[in-house]
Amino acid sequence: MTSRRQFLAGLAAASLAPIRSWSAAGAPDFLAAALFPDGLYRLAGLSQRGEILFTLPLPERGHAAAAHPELAQAVAFARRPGTFAVVVDCISGTEIARLTAPTGQHFYGHGVFSQDGRLLFTTENNFDAGEGMIGVWDVANGYARIGSFSSGGVGPHDMVLMPDGASLAIANGGIETHPDSGRTKLNLPVMQPNLTYCDLGGQILEQVELPRSLHKNSIRHLALRQDGLVAFAMQWQGSVTQHPPLLGLHRPGTQARLLSAPDAAQSTVQGYAGSVGFSQDGHSVAITCPRGDALHLFDTVTGNFTGSFTLEDVCGIGTASDGMVFTTGTGQIGRVSTAKATITAQAQCQWDNHLVPILRPTN
């Protein structure tokens, strides 16, 4: 038996052990994948000011990442359709684990941790069944896979953990793909995107579908406001002569609101929203449109379009202390408010699609 003295000594030793938290990795605000001039892909930790605090090598092109809520660990996902996800220690730069999608499945580039950091959830495609899946991984057990459940649709891409810590919001893009066909979209005439809410065991709580006339509007990326309002960005798969809304807002238990810029601005973005994000005060929401070199801003209360900013190849967007931060494929990092967009840094790299927030505990 362990004596009281041994027990207390163990507690004291544990209290002196270094805590490998995000502060030890430079306290980054975001994670972002990028291609650097040496031809290598890396995952970077960024501050709101645009400082690159660390970079970590990736085996191939990255897409998005998942940040552990306490430990300085990140899971970097391959660009879809990818079969690998790399878990890295953001302090030492060492690889902790490498996740491999089960036979017959591939990752969709996104994932999220549970509130306590014990579980990792990943969006996946069961390509033979044509069904979206959510993989479940045990963090403490070396990120061992311990299960999976249906995403509630086809082509799940992005996913967020809701403020209750007990449910997920999943963007089912509705697009069926198969590795034998690369990135070819196989079911556009019959695609049915949806926004699905489920508990952490996969029980569906609510689903939101678009009007039938918009069934080719793939729901791709999500942002979450602190009070549970979900913003979803869409990518149109229909006729290029149509310019449907590319942004939606939804609160569980209510009807979704679809927001659109005036036609003069909407018609230039080629039906493609790359990312979505809220301002810190929650009064504004933005979508990035890299194919149209534009960032569109909306009021979350009225739904009104409040401005458009011209930014070459802009795609990453995230919440900042006084507005929003964006990144571009030309290496720029900047801030946007309701009044202006300002470039704050120029990195020697090509930023990929997303800025992933690191939500550190406040206590």
CATH number, domain at 274? 2.130.10.10
Query: Which residue range(s) make up the domain with 352?
Result: 19-357
Residue 284 falls within a domain, yes or no?
yes
Residue 230 falls within a domain, yes or no?
yes
- Token reading at 93: 């730069």
pLDDT in the model for residue 290: 97
pLDDT in the model for residue 246: 98
Residue 6 falls within a domain, yes or no?
no
Q: Do 295 and 312 form a contact (C-beta atoms < 8 A)?
A: no
Residue 2 falls within a domain, yes or no?
no
Buried b (16+ CB within 10 A) or exposed e, 335-357: bbeeeebeeeeebebbbbbbbbb
Q: Do 195 and 171 form a contact (C-beta atoms < 8 A)?
A: yes
Residue 68 falls within a domain, yes or no?
yes
Residue 10 falls within a domain, yes or no?
no
What's at 359, amino acid-wise? L
CA 180 to the chain's CA centroid = 26
Residue 7 falls within a domain, yes or no?
no
pLDDT in the model for residue 360: 63
pLDDT in the model for residue 130: 87
Structural domain count, the chain: 1
Angle at 172 between CA 167 and CA 173, to 5 degrees: 155
Residue 267 falls within a domain, yes or no?
yes
**265, burial (CB in 10 Å: exposed 0-12, middle 13-18, buried 19+):** middle
Q: What are the 10-residue block averages of pLDDT along the chain, 363 residues in total?
A: 43 45 94 96 94 92 93 89 86 93 91 97 92 97 97 97 98 85 78 97 98 97 97 96 97 97 97 97 97 98 97 96 94 92 96 90 49
Q: Do 6 and 56 form a contact (C-beta atoms < 8 A)?
A: no
Q: Look up the pTM and report it.
A: 0.92
